[in-house]
Amino acid sequence: MAEHRIQLGEQLISCKTDETLLNALLRENVNISYGCQQGVCQSCMMRSLDSPPPSESQHGLTDKLKEQSYFLACRCYPQQAMRIGYRDHTDFVTYGTVSVKQNLNAETILLTLDIDNPFEYYAGQFVNLQRDDGLVRSYSIANNSINRKQLSFHIRRLAGGRFTEWAHEELKLGDRLSVSEPQGLCYYQSGKSEQPLLLIGTGSGLAPLAGIISEALHQGHQGEIHLYHGSRDINGLYWVEEMQQLADTHENFHYSPCVSQGEPASSMLAGRANDLAFKTLSDLKGWRVFLCGHPDMVNNSKRQAYLNGVSLADIYADAFHVASGSLD
């Protein structure tokens, strides 16, 4: 019986033509999560790293997952040799050289890397950055995908955060970092240009949203675009003037900086960004929504956006979880 060679990391597995990839992996005692084995629960989702997976193995996945060659192992009968990865698999694909480092506010820096080998990505995705001793953290790309040679990041200092403190204090122009392939499903896709967009971000959650807005405007997005950027106090906001200027020059872009504690400056709103957004925009049927930043804000907002009428498939979210090792 014919077999196909499957590579998963360092491990080689042969998959018979009449068995699913999931069964082959289980037979070889690969530790993989799975559930219904019927292509419904999506627990066994994996990613093909070298070739498009068989189309029936992508049945039921969102377009954004299909595009990135995700597939369900329980529905996959390999047609050829495959190199596959776990759902969160990352490869460091290139290096970047620090070319810009400046303060955005008291706790956040803008870091720009000149990329050795530019790669394709969608505005809103993130990459992993790795220091030469192996320390890795994820950061959202803050620019659009038109100029791929430079990637910018907003790095907020976390008390005791090993990577962020190092980036703030010691990282300097000319230093080199490893950069992973782009990841994440919270990104702007062209098409449906008339669809209104709502973007809500807290703190450095502005980074991916700024990239998405820049991309959308560059691609001539026609629908209304509403950005609510929130922070506890004025000092946590940044790019206020830049976003205001963007709103002044683009009729369909609307910017609302929000401050949840203390007195807001004039032209700022008092309250939480998500509360204000959902109160003002109570009927969101047909909208596309992007949510980035504090995990509680993101989770609450997903629910509220959905209750306000947004389809689940139109909710894009990226919760910024603090790496558990940060406080070591």
Partner 1 sequence: MSESLFDQLGGEAAVDAAVDIFYRKVLADTTINRFFDNTNMEEQAGKQKAFLTMAFGGPNNYNGTDMRQAHAKFVKMGLDDSHFDAVAGHLADTLKELDVPQDLIDQVGVIAESTRNDVLGR
Q: Where does this chain bind partner 1 (CB under 8 A)? A: 36-38, 40-42, 59-60, 299, 302-303, 306-307, 309, 311-313, 315
Closer of 52 and 60 to partner 1 (Cβ): 60
Closer of 9 and 60 to partner 1 (Cβ): 60
Look at residues 101, 96, 92 and name the one whose alpha carbon lies nearest to residue 171: 101
Min CB(307)–partner 1 separation in Å? 6
Distance (Å, whole) CA 261 – CA 252:
29
Min CB(305)–partner 1 separation in Å? 10
Closer of 36 and 327 to partner 1 (Cβ): 36
Closer of 118 and 286 to partner 1 (Cβ): 286
Closer of 5 and 279 to partner 1 (Cβ): 279
Spatial contact of 129 and 136, defined as CB atoms under 8 Å apart? yes
Distance (Å, whole) CA 227 – CA 219:
17
Min CB(105)–partner 1 separation in Å? 30
Min CB(306)–partner 1 separation in Å? 6
> For tokens 């290096």, what's the residue?
95
Report residue 154 as tokens. 């907003």
**One-letter-per-residue 3-state SS of the chain:** CCEEEEEECCEEEEEECCCCHHHHHHHCCCCCCCCCCCCCCCCCEEEECCCCCCHHHHCCCCHHHHHCCEEEHHHCCCCCCEEEEECCCCCEEEEEEEEEEEEEECCEEEEEEEECCCCCCCCCCEEEEECCCCCEEEEECCCCCCCCCEEEEEEECCCCCHHHHHHHHCCCCCCEEEEECCECCCCCCCCCCCCCEEEEEEHHHHHHHHHHHHHHHHCCCCCCEEEEEEECCHHHCCCHHHHHHHHHHCCCEEEEEEECCCCCCCCCEECCHHHHHHHHCCCCCCCEEEEEECHHHHHHHHHHHHHCCCCHHHEEEEECCCCHHHHC
Closer of 64 and 176 to partner 1 (Cβ): 64
Closer of 167 and 200 to partner 1 (Cβ): 200
Closer of 8 and 277 to partner 1 (Cβ): 277
Closer of 63 and 116 to partner 1 (Cβ): 63
> For tokens 């068989």, what's the residue?
54
Spatial contact of 143 and 151, defined as CB atoms under 8 Å apart? yes
Min CB(192)–partner 1 separation in Å? 17
Min CB(145)–partner 1 separation in Å? 25
Structural Rg of the chain based on CA atoms: 21
Min CB(43)–partner 1 separation in Å? 9
Min CB(69)–partner 1 separation in Å? 20
Min CB(214)–partner 1 separation in Å? 27
